[in-house]
Amino acid sequence: MKTQNKNNIKRINALLTSYPFCVKDQTPLQLAKKYKLEIIGPALKEKRKLTKAEIINYIQTADAVIAGTEQYDAEILDNAKNLKIISRLGIGLDNINFAETRKRNIAVAYTPDAPSNAVAELTIGLIINAARRILNVDNDLRNNKWNRFVGLDICEKKIGIIGLGRIGKILAKLLKPFNCKIFVNDIAPDEKFINENNLIFSAKNKIYKMCDIISLHIPLTNKTRNLITKKQLLQMKKNCILINTSRGGIINEKDLYDHLKATPDFFAAVDVFEQEPYYGELIKLNNIILTPHLGSCSEKSRYLMELGAVQNITDYFYDRQNANILK
Return the closest-CA partner of residue 214 out of 187, 246, 166. 246
Q: What does the alpha-carbon distance between residue 281 and residue 257 come to, in Å, rounded to a whole number?
A: 7
Residues 180 and 154: beta-carbon distance below 8 Å: yes
Q: What does the alpha-carbon distance between residue 314 and residue 32 come to, in Å, rounded to a whole number?
A: 8
Beta-bridge mates of residue 158: 181
CB atoms within 10 A of CB 327: 10
Residues 81 and 302: beta-carbon distance below 8 Å: no
Return the closest-CA partner of residue 98 out of 111, 109, 112, 113. 109
Q: Identify the burial level of 206 via C-beta atoms within 10 angstroms of its C-beta, where 0-12 means exposed, 13-18 middle and 19 or more buried.
A: middle
Residues forming the active site: 247, 276, 293
